[in-house]
Amino acid sequence: MVQRPFRLAILECDHSLDPDGSLYGGYGGLIRSWLQRHEAFSGSNVECTIWDVETAQTYPAPGTFDAVVITGSPTSVNDPFDWVRKLEQFMQGIVGDEKTKSVGLCFGHQLIAKALGAPVGCRGSALETSETSIALSDTGKDLFKKDKITLNMMHADNVLSVPQGTANIGSTEYCSIQGLYAPTKLLTIQAHPEFDRTTMQNVIKVMADHGELDEKARIDAVARNVGGTDADLVLNAIAEFLLG
C-alpha cells in the first residue's frame, strides 16, 4: 500500500512583503522555499499548498491537511478585520483537533495564542527588530539544543500569557514569550526564522519608508542584520515536530 504524502497547508496572511510575487512567489512561496531547504520537506512525501486567507479568504477543507503553518503579517491579531476574525475562528477549530498540528511565525504565533485564549498586546510604539538573542527556557533548550539562539524579529505585539497546555520556549528583554510548544500539537515562534539577511534588509527598508521605524531604530536594525541567525536550528525543530 502506497503511503499518502504529509499534507501541509500554508496560510498566507500578508501580501505587502512581495506584492506581485516576483521576489519569492508571495509570502507563502517564501515559507515553502524556506521549509524545502530541509530535505524532509523537499521530497514527494510532503505536499505543500498555499491558501490566501487575507484577500481571497480561502481555506483548505476539513480533513484535507495534516498541519498548518501561519505566516507573519503587519496586521495585528487585534485588528477588527473580517479576515483576521475568520482566521481566528478557523484556528480555534484546529487547536481543538488532536489530529492536526499547527506552526505559527510572528503574527501566526500570536494568532494561535489568541485562539487558545491568551491576550495579545502592544508595548507602546517600540518594535523588536532584526537579529536578536533569545534566552531559551528548558523547553526551548530541548527543542534547539542550545542555551540561546539568534533570530530575526519585526514585531510590536506580544503574547502576554502562556496558554494552558503549552510551554514558553524563551524570552528577550522586550518580549517574555518568544514561542509556544505543545508536543504533537503546536510549535510557534515570535521571530521570523524564514527571513534571511536580504529579506530582513528589505523589511527594514519598507518599515522605515512607511514611518514605522525612526532613523535611530533603522540604523540599529541595519547594524544588527549581519546574517548570523540560528534559523536552521528552528527549521530542524519544525521538521522534527511535523514529520518526526
Q: Enumerate the active-site residues.
A: 106, 192, 194
The single residue listed with the C-alpha cell 492536526 is 100
46-52 and 6-12 strand pairing: parallel
- Helices 82-95, 107-115: axis angle to 10 degrees equals 60
The rounded distance, in Å, linking the Cα atoms of 185 and 41 is 19
* Residue 50, amino acid: I
Q: Write phi, then psi, for 241 (nearest 5 degrees).
A: -65, -45
Q: What are the residue ranges of helices labelled H in the chain? A: 26-35, 39-42, 82-95, 107-115, 138-144, 197-209, 215-224, 231-243
- Helices 231-243, 26-35: axis angle to 10 degrees equals 80
Determine the 3-state secondary structure of 232 from DSSP: helix
| Angle, CA 170 vertex, CA 177 and CA 166 arms, to 5° | 65
